[in-house]
Structure 1
Amino acid sequence: MKLKFYIFLFLLTSAVFAQQKQVETSIDTTKNKIGAEFKLTLKTVVSSKSKVVFPKQKTFGPLEVIQSYPVDTVKKDGNYELIKKYGLTQFDSGKYVIPSVTILIDKKPYFSDSIKVEVANVKVDTLQQKMYDIKDISTADEGLGSWWKYVLALLIILGIGAFVYWYVKKRQQKKIEEEVYKTPIEKATSLLNNLEQKELVQKGEIKEYYSELTDIARNYIEEAIHIPAMESTTSELIQAIRTASTKKKMTLTPETVENLERVLRQADLVKFAKSKPLDFEITEDRNKIQKVILTLDNAIPTEIPSEEDELLNEAQRQKQIKLQLKKQRNKRITIAVASVFGLLIVTTAVLIAVKGFTNVKDTVLMNPTKRLLESEWVKSEYGNPGVLLETPQVLKRVDPLKVLPKDAMALIKEMQLFVYGGMTDNFYIAVSTSKFKTPTEIDLAKTLEGSLKVIEAQGGQNIIVKQEDYQTNEGVQGLKGYGTMTVINPLTKSSTKVYYEILLFKQEQGLQQIIISHEEGDSYGNTITDRILNSVELRKASN
C-alpha cells in the first residue's frame, strides 16, 4: 500500500510541472460546487478536407458557458483529431442534465451525448469560520499604477524644453535683426567694437585676435570694394586695392595702403611664424585697421543708388536674415535638446540619490518582478483542504487529474491545482491540494524527494536542496525544501539559475503543497516570496 502511495505522490507532483492534453470525450467531473467549472470536451476525427463547426452557444441547457476554449488539432494517421472544450457552471445546487448539442461536419449534423451532473452547496462551519463585515467598495485598478507620475514628469520636462526653445528663439530673433547691418562700414565698425569686448589680448590669445582683426578688414574690402579679399594673399590684396583705386577713382594716399599692408604682414607673422607683438604694437595695429577702413569708405565715390539697386540690396539683406535665422534655429534646437537632456540627467541623479540606482534602473527598464510586486495583490483561498494566501496575481485553476493514470486515481478522492507562470518565467507559483479516500500515513520527506525528481525530469539541473521544519503563523507544522537549480528553456535552450521553495503540509486525509521559484538574486522575487509565505493560512480537510 505504501509503495502505491509514494508512486501516487510522485505522479501528483508531476501534475504541478507537466500538463498533457485532454484526449477523452467527456466531462472532467460530474460533481462540483456552486460556481465551480465543469470542463466539457467534444472530440471528432475528420479528414484534412472536412469542415467542422462546433456550437457557439452561451448556455448548455441549465448550465452557463463561462469559457469557450480554442479547438485543439492533433494529426493522426493522415486524419485530424479536433478537440473542443467548454467551461460550464451553475450557481444553484441540484442535479442537472447537460443536453446533447449539434456538431456540423461537412454541413451534416452530429449529436453529442447528454451528461448528468450534480452541483453541491458549499458547506460553511459557522462555529469555526469567522464572520466579517461587508467590505467597502474598492476602486477598480485602471492599470496605470504609479506610472502616471513618470509620464507627468516627462511632460513637465518636455514643457520646460519647449519653453527654453521659445525663449531662446525670441531673444535670438531680436539679436538677428540687430546684427544684420545696412552698410559694410556699419558692420565693420560694430565688429571692431565687439572684438575689443572679447578681451582676447588680455587673455593672451594674440593669434585669435589678429585673425579676427584682419578678417574684419578683408570682409569690409570684399563687400565695399568688391575684391575677393578673403581668398587673396597679402600681396595679391594690396595689388588689387591699388588697381581698384585707379579704376574706381578712389583718392588713397600711399600711407593708407602701406599701413594696411604692414598690419596684414604682422598678422601673417603672428599666425604662421608665432611672432608676439608688444601691447603697444597691438593697439597701434588695431587703430591702423580702423583708420584704413574709414579712409577706404570715404574714398569710395558716392553713388546715388537706383530703385533697382535698393531692391537688390534689400533682397540681399533679407537673404542674409534668412541665413542667420537658419543658423540660429539650429542653435535653438541644440540648446533645447541639451536643456531637456540636462533636466533628465539632473532628475535621474536626484532619483538615484533618493531611491538608489537599482530601483531607478528597474523602474525605467520596467523590471517584470518589480511590476509584479507593485501590482494589486489579491488574497484568495485555493483547493480543499484550503490554502489561503496573498499573491500579486490570481492563480488560475488547471486540471491535474487528467495526467494521472487510473491506478493512482484510485487513491484520491479529490485533487485541485492552481498556477501562475511557469518554471522558465520570471516568477512561478503553484498551489496543489488533495484528499485521500482512506486514511494514509504521509511521509513529507519522501514527498519532497518525489517533487525534486519530477523537477529534474522536467529539465531542472544541478539541483541543490536543503530542508527544514516549517511552521505557519498559526502554528501549523510542515516541511520546507529550498535551494537553487539550473532550468533549461526548451524553446531558446538558454539556462537560468533559479531559487525555489517547496512547502508541504499533511492532514489526516489531506496534503497541501506550495511551490515558488524565481531567478536567483532577484531581490523583488525574494520580497514577493516572503510576502506570499507570510500570508499562508491552512484549512482543515473537510469530508
Structure 2
Amino acid sequence: MKIRLYLLFLLFTTFVFAQQKQVVTSIDTIKNKIGAEFKLSIKTTVDTSSKVIFPKLKNFGALEVIQSYPIDTVKMDGRYELVKKYGLTQFDSGRYVIPSIKIFINSKPFMTDSLLVEVANVKVDTLKQKMFDIKNIAPADNSIGNWWKYLLILALIIGIGAFIYWYIKKHQKKKLEEEIFKTPIEKATSLLNNLEKKELWQKGEVKAYYSELTDIARNYIEEAIEIPAMESTTSELIQGLKAASVKKKMTVSQETIENLERVLKQADLVKFAKSKPLDFEITEDRNKIQKAILTLDSSIPVEVPVEEDTLLNEAQRQKQIQIQLRKKRKKRIVLTISSIAFILVATTTFFIVLKGFDFVKDNIFGNASKELLEGEWIKSEYGNPGIIIETPKVLKRVDLTKTLPKDGMALIKEMQSFAYGTIQDNFYIMISTLKYKKEGEIDLAKSMDGALQSLESKGAKNMIVKQEDFETKEGIKGLKAYGTFSKINSATQSSTKLYYEALLFSQEGGLQQIIIFHEEGDDYANQISERVLSSVELKQLSK
C-alpha cells in the first residue's frame, strides 16, 4: 500500500510540475500609478504542430484590458515559444488580483498563475505645482494625410485640362476633315464608310443610324445640287430635286428618285413612328442611298477647267489647309492653357475666400515652420547636467568654446552645446550645459546677461529684454528672458525682426541653458517654441 501511495504521489507531482512548466505567467511590475499600464505576459513552449488559443478578454478581474498585443513567436530546436502580452490598467487605487485564466493547447486547458498587483494614487502638491485654467476644446490635428487632398485637386485640374484639350481637338479635327474634302461626293462617300464602321444599328441604335444616313444624303444634295435639303421635308426635298434636275439638265432616272424617297420615308418612320426595320432592310436602304448619291453625282454636268487653273487652285487649297491647321493648333493650345489657368485661379480664390490667404500660402506654396511643427518630433537627452527635451529635429553638437572669452573658459570644467539651424537662420534652437571647476551658487541674472551679450556679439541689434521666473512641470525653478531683436542680412542689408526666449537653470557646480528664436509673427514657430519649452525635463549633475 505504501508503494502504491508513493507512486501515485510521484505521478501527481510530475503532472502538476509539467502543467506549471507548460504555461509561465509574469508581469512587468506589481506596483503602478492610477491609469498606468501593467504588461501581463503568458509564455508557453509547444511543438510546431500544436494549436494554442489565448483568450480574448475585456477584463482580467477588476483590471481593464487596454491593449491585446500580437503573439511573439520564437522557434527554438524544432519547437515554438509563444508569448502573449496584455496591457492592463485600473483607475482606482488599491490591491487587485489578476485571476487565473485558461489557455488551450491542442484543445486541452491549462491555467495561468494568479498575481497580486497594487495601484497607487498620484501625489499632487498644489504648493509646488502651478494651477492653470481649463483650456477650451482644441480641434483635432488633421495635418497627417492632408497631402492626398492636394494631389486630388492637382489630378482634377489636369483631368479637366486634358478633357478640354481632347474635346477641342476632336471637334476641330471633325470640322477640318469636313473642310478638306475636294468634292461633295468624296465627302459623302467617306462619311458613309465611317457610318458603317460605327456599327450603330448592330448595337441597337437604329434611329441614330437612319438619322445620320439621311443627313449624309441631304448634305450631299444641298452642296452638290444646291437646293435647301437639310431644312426640307421629304416631299419638299423630292420636289426640289426634280425641279433642279430639269433646270441643270441632269439625266436622273425615276427609279433613283423613288429609291431615295423610299429611304427618306423609312427614316421618317424610324425617327418619328418608332418603326423597326429588319436587318436586311437596313442594309438595302444603305445601298440605295449610296447608289442614289453616285447616280446623282454622275448626272451633274461637269465643267472642264483649264489645267493651269486646276493646278493653281490645288496649290492654293493645300496652302490654305496648312494655314488653317496651324491656326487651329495654336488656338487649341491657347484655349487649353487659358482654361487650366482659369481653374487654378478659381480654385485658389475659392480657398482664399474659404480659408484665408495664409492657409493657401502655407498649404499650397509651403511653410518651413509648418513643416517642422507637423513633422516627426524627437525626444532626447543632451549634455551634463542632462536636459531632456522634445524638438522637431535632432540637435547636432556644436563647439562654442572658441566664442567665449578666455577668462570665462578658465572657470569651466566641461561644456556641451547642441543646436538646430544657425545663428543666421530665422529659426534656431540651442542647448548648452556647463560644469564649473568650483562648486558654488550661480547668479542666474549675471549668467543670463552673458548669454544675451553673446547674442549681441553675433549680430543681434536693438535687443529688447524682459525677464521673469520660470518653473518646469516638475517644479524646478529657473530664469526666463524673452523679447525681440533685429538681425541684419549682410548680403541684402535688409533687417528681420526676431522673437527670442532663453531659459537658465542652475545646479551646484552646473548650469543648463536653452535658447530659441524665430521670426516674429510666425504662428507655427510660436507653437513649436511652446511645445519645446513645455517638454523640458532636467537631470541632476553627474560627477
TM-score of the pair, normalised by structure 1: 0.48
Higher relative contact order structure (alpha carbons within 8 Å, sequence separation ≥ 6) = 1
TM-score of the pair, normalised by structure 2: 0.48
